[in-house]
Amino acid sequence: MKEILIISGKGGAGKTSLCAAFAVLAGKSVLVDCDVDASDLHLLLKPEVRETHPFFAGLLPEIGKEGCTRCGKCMDVCRFGAVGADRAGFPVIDENACEGCGVCASHCPAEVIHMKPRSCGEWYESETARGTMFHAKLWPGGENSGKLVAEIRRAARACAGNSGADRILLDGPPGIGCPVISAMTGVDLAVIVTEPTVSGFHDLDRTVRLARQFEVECAVILNKADLNREVAGRVRSYCEEKELRFLGEIPFDPLFSQALREGKTLADYPDSAPGRKIAELWRAVE
C-alpha cells in the first residue's frame, strides 16, 4: 500500500484541484483531506458522510457548583484570565481563554474542579464516487491539529487494509507547520505543487527541506508555469540542483476557475489541454 501526499508550501498553488483530479484518475483509492483547519476537498468530491467521530484533545476544567464555596481561589491563580464569575459569584470558565493547564483544579480548596477531555472537533468517514474519504473539522480555536491529522490517517490506513486498496491519496495542508508534519511523516511520496512566484519559490524550498528532514521522497509540479518564465526557470534549476524529480508543468488556464465554479475537477474535462496534461502528470506520479 502506497501513500501519496499532494502538498504545497502555500495556499492557492492549486494543490487541492490537482489532488481531486488525481483522485478521479486513480480509480478506487482511499482519500484523506489533511487540511483539518480549512478543508475544501469535499467541495469537489462531494462525500456522503457515513460516520461521524468526536475529536478530543487537551483538557478543560469542569466546576461542580455543589460544594463550591465561591472563595475565588481559581480566579486568583489563573494567569490567563479564563475564570470569571456569574451573578451569584460562582466561578465560570471561558473556554476560549482557557489553556487547560489544570492550575485551578490543583488549587481548589473544595476540590470541586475536575479536568475533563476537551472537544476540539470531529472527523468523518464518507463515501465518494472515487472511494472512501476521511476528512475532519477542527473547531475555531481548537488545538492539536497535528493529532487530528494523525487520527484520520490511522483510520484511512485501517480502511485501506480492510478493503484491499493499494493506494492512499492525501491532500495536505498548506505551509510547514504541525499538521503538515503530521501529514507528511511516513508517506511514500510527497508531490509538491508550486507556482512561479517569489513566495511560491521560497515555500517550495521550505517544503523540500522539511521533507528531507523526515526522509520523504519528493517530486515537483509547477502550476501556472507561464505566468513568470524567469521564476519558472529558477524552479526547474532548483529541482536539478537538489536532485528532485520534476514531473512537469501546467500552463495557466481559465478552465481551473471554471471547474471550481462548477464543482468539477480538471479530470472531468479529459479532452481539454489542462485535462490531458494532468493525466500525463498522474502517469508520472504512478
Among 69, 96, 119, the domain-final residue is: 119
3-state SS class at 17: helix
| CATH code of the domain covering residue 76 | 3.30.70.20
Burial of 119 (0-12, 13-18, 19+ CB in 10 A): middle
| CATH code of the domain covering residue 203 | 3.40.50.300
Does some domain include residue 79?
yes
Q: Report which of 207, 233, 185, 268 is spatially closest to residue 15, judged by C-alpha positions.
A: 207
Same domain, residue pair 72 and 167: no
* Dihedral sign computed on CA atoms, order 246, 205, 156, 44: negative
Same domain, residue pair 11 and 138: yes
CB 39 within 8 A of CB 124: no
Interatomic CA distance for residues 47 and 33, integer angstroms: 11
Same domain, residue pair 78 and 178: no
Interatomic CA distance for residues 155 and 174, integer angstroms: 22
Same domain, residue pair 107 and 244: no
Interatomic CA distance for residues 44 and 128, integer angstroms: 10
Same domain, residue pair 42 and 101: no
DSSP secondary structure, 183-228, as one string: HHTT-SEEEEEE-SSHHHHHHHHHHHHHHHHTT--EEEEEESGGG-
Same domain, residue pair 203 and 70: no
8-state DSSP, 14: S
Same domain, residue pair 6 and 76: no
Same domain, residue pair 36 and 17: yes
Does some domain include residue 124?
no
Among 119, 137, 157, the domain-final residue is: 119
Does some domain include residue 28?
yes
8-state DSSP, 139: P
Q: How many domains does the chain have?
A: 2
Give the domain range for residue 63.
Answer: 58-119
User: pLDDT in tens for each of the 286 residues of the chain?
Assistant: 899 999 998 888 889 999 999 999 998 899 999 999 988 899 999 999 999 999 999 999 999 988 899 999 999 999 999 999 999 999 999 998 999 999 999 999 999 999 999 999 999 999 999 899 999 999 988 888 999 999 999 999 999 999 988 899 999 999 899 999 999 999 999 999 999 999 999 999 999 999 999 999 999 999 999 989 999 999 999 999 999 999 999 999 888 888 888 888 888 899 898 899 999 999 999 8
Same domain, residue pair 151 and 36: yes
Predicted local confidence at residue 35, as pLDDT: 94
Q: And the C-alpha cell for 119?
A: 472537544
Same domain, residue pair 78 and 169: no
Among 119, 140, 167, the domain-final residue is: 119
Does some domain include residue 151?
yes
Same domain, residue pair 258 and 156: yes
Does some domain include residue 53?
no
Taking the mean position of all CA atoms in its chain, how far away is CA 105? 34
Residue 42 pairs in a beta bridge with: none
Does some domain include residue 261?
yes
Does some domain include residue 134?
yes
CB 16 within 8 A of CB 22: no
CB 57 within 8 A of CB 116: no
CB 126 within 8 A of CB 46: no
Q: Report which of 149, 42, 65 is spatially closest to residue 114, judged by C-alpha positions.
A: 65
3-state SS class at 80: coil
Same domain, residue pair 280 and 183: yes
Interatomic CA distance for residues 55 and 51, integer angstroms: 13
CB 135 within 8 A of CB 33: yes
Does some domain include residue 256?
yes
Predicted local confidence at residue 160, as pLDDT: 94
